[in-house]
Structure 1
Amino acid sequence: MTKPKIVSIFSGVGGIDFGFEKAGFQTIFASDIWERACESLKMNFKDCEVVCNDVVNVDFKSIRAKHKEIDGLVGGPPCPPFSKSRFYRTEKDRGIDDVDGFTTVSNYFRAVEELQPKFFFFENVHGFVFKPHKAALELVEAESERLGYKIFHRVVNAADYGVAQTRQRFICIGVKKEMEDFKYPEPSHSDPKKNVKGTLPWVTCGDILNDIDFDLPEDEKMQAGSKHKDLLKLVPPGDNYLFFTEERGHPNPIFKWRSRYWSFLLKLSPNRPSWTIQASHSNNMGPFHWKNRFLRIKEIKRIQSFEDEHIFLGSYREQWRQVGNAVPPKLAYAFAQQIKQQYFINNEYKEDQKLDEIRFEVSVD
Structure 2
Amino acid sequence: MASTDGVAISLFSGAGGLDLGAEAAGFKVRAAVERDRDASLTMEKNFDTLASPVIQKDILDTPTSEILKAAGLRSGQRPDLLIGGPPCTPFSKSGFWLEWKRQGLDPDASLLQAYTRVLKDAQPRAFVLENVYALTYNNKASRPALTRLLKEIDEAGYNFNMKVLNAADYGVPQARPRLFIIGAPKGKPTPVHPDATHGGKWERRATGLIEGRPHVTAGEALEGLITDPEREEKIGGKYGHLLPGIPPGDNYLHYTERREHPDPQFEWRSRYWSFLLKLDPNRPSPTIQAQPGPNIGPFHWENRRLRTAEVKRLFTFPDEFELVGTRGSVQAQLGNSVPPLLGQKVLENVRIALGGAR
TM-score normalised over the length of structure 1: 0.89
- Which of 196, 204, 226 aligns to 2:237? It is 226
Secondary structure (helix, strand or coil) at the match of 1:211 reads coil
- Which of 236, 242, 258 aligns to 2:269? It is 258
The answer to whether the 8 Å contact 1:281/1:317 transfers is no
Distance in 2 (alpha carbons) for counterparts of 1:256 and 1:63 = 52
Distance in 1 (alpha carbons) for counterparts of 2:6 and 2:49 = 14
Give the Å deviation of 1:47: 3.0
User: Match for residue 118 of structure 1?
Assistant: 125
Alignment partner of 1:287 is 2:289: no
Q: Which runs of 5+ in 2 are unaligned?
A: 202-206
- Which of 192, 196, 201 aligns to 1:183? It is 192
User: Match for residue 322 of structure 2?
Assistant: 311
1:219/1:18 CA distance change after superposition, 3 Å: closer
User: Match for residue 204 of structure 2?
Assistant: none
Distance in 1 (alpha carbons) for counterparts of 2:356 and 2:231 = 52
User: Match for residue 135 of structure 2?
Assistant: 128
1:232/1:167 CA distance change after superposition, 3 Å: same
User: Match for residue 236 of structure 1?
Assistant: 247
Distance in 1 (alpha carbons) for counterparts of 2:105 and 2:295 = 31
Distance in 1 (alpha carbons) for counterparts of 2:102 and 2:122 = 29
Give the Å deviation of 1:194: 4.5
Give the Å deviation of 1:249: 2.8
Letter in 1 for 2:131: N
The answer to whether the 8 Å contact 2:21/2:347 transfers is yes
- Which of 52, 57, 64 aligns to 1:53? It is 57
Secondary structure (helix, strand or coil) at the match of 2:175 reads coil
Give the Å deviation of 1:97: 3.1
- Which of 82, 100, 107 aligns to 2:108? It is 100
Q: Please tell me the root mean square deviation across aligned C-alpha atoms, in Å.
A: 2.0
Give the Å deviation of 1:237: 0.4
Distance in 1 (alpha carbons) for counterparts of 2:303 and 2:186 = 52
Alignment partner of 1:296 is 2:303: no
Q: Which runs of 5+ in 1 are unaligned?
A: 350-365
The answer to whether the 8 Å contact 1:82/1:95 transfers is no
User: Match for residue 25 of structure 2?
Assistant: 23
Give the Å deviation of 1:266: 0.5
Distance in 2 (alpha carbons) for counterparts of 1:220 and 1:304 = 22
- Which of 113, 137, 140 aligns to 2:146? It is 137
User: Match for residue 337 of structure 1?
Assistant: 348
The answer to whether the 8 Å contact 2:288/2:335 transfers is yes
- Which of 33, 36, 39 aligns to 1:34? It is 36
1:310/1:42 CA distance change after superposition, 3 Å: same
Distance in 1 (alpha carbons) for counterparts of 2:147 and 2:246 = 43
Letter in 1 for 2:117: R
Give the Å deviation of 1:219: 6.0
Distance in 2 (alpha carbons) for counterparts of 1:151 and 1:187 = 19
1:220/1:137 CA distance change after superposition, 3 Å: closer
The answer to whether the 8 Å contact 1:81/1:95 transfers is no
Per mean C-alpha deviation after superposition, the further-off stretch among 263-272 and 275-284 is 275-284
The answer to whether the 8 Å contact 1:240/1:264 transfers is yes
CA offset digits 1:190-235 (Å, max 9, x no partner): 10675444x2100001001121267x5x468732253212211100
Distance in 2 (alpha carbons) for counterparts of 1:243 and 1:225 = 19
1:265/1:318 CA distance change after superposition, 3 Å: same
Alignment partner of 1:201 is 2:205: no
Distance in 1 (alpha carbons) for counterparts of 2:47 and 2:253 = 43
Distance in 1 (alpha carbons) for counterparts of 2:66 and 2:306 = 42
CA offset digits 1:132-169 (Å, max 9, x no partner): 11101101111011111112111110000110000010
Letter in 2 for 1:47: T
Distance in 1 (alpha carbons) for counterparts of 2:149 and 2:40 = 27
Distance in 1 (alpha carbons) for counterparts of 2:178 and 2:43 = 23
Distance in 2 (alpha carbons) for counterparts of 1:205 and 1:213 = 15
Distance in 2 (alpha carbons) for counterparts of 1:7 and 1:182 = 18
Count of residues in correspondence between the two structures: 342
TM-score normalised over the length of structure 2: 0.90
Distance in 2 (alpha carbons) for counterparts of 1:221 and 1:341 = 44
Distance in 1 (alpha carbons) for counterparts of 2:251 and 2:305 = 15
The answer to whether the 8 Å contact 1:4/1:344 transfers is no
Alignment partner of 1:85 is 2:94: yes
Secondary structure (helix, strand or coil) at the match of 1:47 reads coil
The answer to whether the 8 Å contact 2:252/2:275 transfers is yes
Per mean C-alpha deviation after superposition, the further-off stretch among 289-298 and 3-12 is 3-12
Give % identity: 39
1:107/1:2 CA distance change after superposition, 3 Å: closer
Give the Å deviation of 1:175: 1.3
Per mean C-alpha deviation after superposition, the further-off stretch among 38-47 and 15-24 is 38-47
User: Match for residue 8 of structure 1?
Assistant: 10
